[in-house]
Amino acid sequence: MALQIDFSKWLDLPFADKVIGLESYDAIKVISYGDWYINVTIFNSWIVIALITLVSWLATRRLSCEKQVSKLQTALEALVLWLQREANETSGSRNNQYLGMALGLFSFILISNLLTFIPWFRPPTASISTTMALAAMVFIAIPYFSIRNAGIKAYLRKFIEPIPLMLPMNIFSEFFSIFAMGLRLFGNMLSGVMFASILSAFIPLVAPLTMQTLGLLTGSIQAYIFALLAIVYTSSVKEEIKPEL
């Protein structure tokens, strides 16, 4: 039993002739201690988390509302305000309760997707374990927000609507919408990584660059969609708003 740290395969290009299999993606160990190990996916998500924490700390270190505002603060304010508007418009609530979840999911997925522009970096979102963990968080957030906003009766009534006969269908759709959410992000990122690696095995000069540029676009759109769908699912059960007379 000894702590082993092996960075030799961390930045290994996933070429088409080497490892493309779905299970081998998570099997590359970086830090191992006996039977316990940290694979590339977890290690890279640590890098993403550290990056987000560092940037947020740098931006909020000297907050000011004077005329001289730092560029980083302006950029992050624009991001937060944009997502706040989107979250409040989508959920129909005005108290910013979905902003924390949406911003956390969005920034993590966005940074890990955008880091694919480093050719050897395997984004953590291209592993099904990461995306399913993110989807599972949304799965827990659905009853939490529903019960907090509308009560447990309204939440349970959602399952027998429009008729009680639809109960198994509603439970199935609850599971499969979450499952599809995780699978959508995974499929998009995996296909981007695989496209680039297969193309770089055939035409290594300029061609992978075009696919990677397209990958940046789809990556940011996927981050937006994931956050948006999380808001839509969690805000599906709402308190009945009584019209004010």
Partner 1 sequence: MDSYTIIGAASIIGACLCMGIGSIGSALGEGHAAATALQAMAQQPDEASRIRSTMFVALAMIETTALYALLIAFLALYANPFWNYAIAQ
131 contributes a contact to partner 1 by CB under 8 A: no
For the chain, give the longest Cα–Cα distance. 72
Q: Judged by CB under 8 A, which stretch of 6-14, 153-161, 190-198, 202-210 contacts partner 1?
A: 190-198
Residue 184: CB minimum distance to partner 1, A: 5
Burial environment of residue 120 by CB neighbours within 10 A (0 to 12, 13 to 18, 19 or more): exposed
83 contributes a contact to partner 1 by CB under 8 A: no
3-state secondary structure of 70: coil
158 contributes a contact to partner 1 by CB under 8 A: no
32 contributes a contact to partner 1 by CB under 8 A: no
How many CB atoms neighbour CB 143 within 10 A?
A: 15
225 contributes a contact to partner 1 by CB under 8 A: yes
Torsion of CA 129, 130, 134, 140, to 10 degrees: 30
198 contributes a contact to partner 1 by CB under 8 A: no
Binding residues for partner 1, rule CB under 8 A, total 19
**Is 116 or 146 the residue whose CB approaches partner 1 more closely?**
116
- The structure tokens 């075009």 sit at 210
CA distance 155 to 166: 15
Q: Residues 93, 107, 113, 188: which binds partner 1 (CB under 8 A)?
A: 188
Q: What Cα–Cα distance (Å) separates residue 35 from each residue in 44, 54, 165?
A: 20, 32, 48
Residue 32: CB minimum distance to partner 1, A: 23
Residue 97: CB minimum distance to partner 1, A: 23
Q: Residues 20, 55, 103, 199: which binds partner 1 (CB under 8 A)?
A: 20
How many CB atoms neighbour CB 98 within 10 A?
A: 24
57: which 2 tokens?
A: 């700390």
Residue 64: CB minimum distance to partner 1, A: 31
Beta bridge partners of 32: 4, 37
Judged by the rule CB under 8 A, the positions of this chain that interact with partner 1 are 20-23, 180, 183-184, 186-188, 190-191, 194, 218, 221-222, 224-225, 228
